[in-house]
Amino acid sequence: MRSTSLDAHLTPARCLAGIGALSAVSAAGTVSAPALLGQPLALVLLSPRLPFLALAGASVRPGLLIPCVALRLCAGDVFHFRLGRSGGDTIVGRRLKANRLTAHRWAVAVKQRVARHEVLARHSIIVGILVRPIGRHLFLAGASGACPRRVAVADVVGTLAYVVAVVMVGHALAIG
């Protein structure tokens, strides 16, 4: 794995702080939802939950809503990916070294099994991100060593597909 400037700046502590800050903003948006019902775009930007997104889809122009919500939903994804990247191999490696299992046949066999299925696992994670781009999938992608560009593309495409589908359903429910 190449070291980049992103590796130096996004330490696990900073990633956790970023995720915590976004969670606090989301919680504040959820708590203030009754007061923000008249401003659905503000509500969904603070707390991009499914019911709020469907509500906003009924009253906010899709050309404004879709990119704004997609950006908000993708805001924390780099933290999840980087957190997975920082802890994936290193935790396993440290535990194996601490227990002196690196030379044992069991550890070698596990390592070979993982290596055989590594490509399939990485592609499956990318598909998982396309279908449902959530934090745990991005964490797994980081831990598996998946290509950051492929993960970013899958994340943006999956997020856009999700947002467009929910906005369309919200709009259809408002018309019907």
Tell me the mean pLDDT in the region 14-25: 94
Domain range for residue 37? Answer: 5-175
Distance CA 11, CA 2 (A): 15
Q: Is the Cβ–Cβ distance between 68 and 41 less than 8 Å?
A: yes
Using alpha carbons, select from 84, 57, 58, 99 the residue that is nearest to residue 140.
Answer: 84
The residue type at 175: I
- Residue 66 CB contacts under 8 Å (≥ 6 apart), including other chains: 160, 163, 164, 167
Q: What is the mean pLDDT of the chain?
A: 83
Q: Is the Cβ–Cβ distance between 131 and 73 less than 8 Å?
A: no
Distance CA 54, CA 174 (A): 9
Kindly report the pTM of this predicted structure. 0.77
pLDDT digits (tens, 9 = 90+) for 34-85: 999 999 999 999 999 999 999 999 899 999 999 999 999 999 999 999 988 8
How far from each other are the two terminal CA atoms of the chain, in whole angstroms?
A: 52
Using alpha carbons, select from 62, 22, 68, 24 the residue that is nearest to residue 44.
Answer: 68
pLDDT: which is higher, 124 or 155: 155
pLDDT digits (tens, 9 = 90+) for 134-143: 998 898 888 8
Distance CA 92, CA 88 (A): 7
pLDDT for position 96: 46
Distance CA 176, CA 11 (A): 48
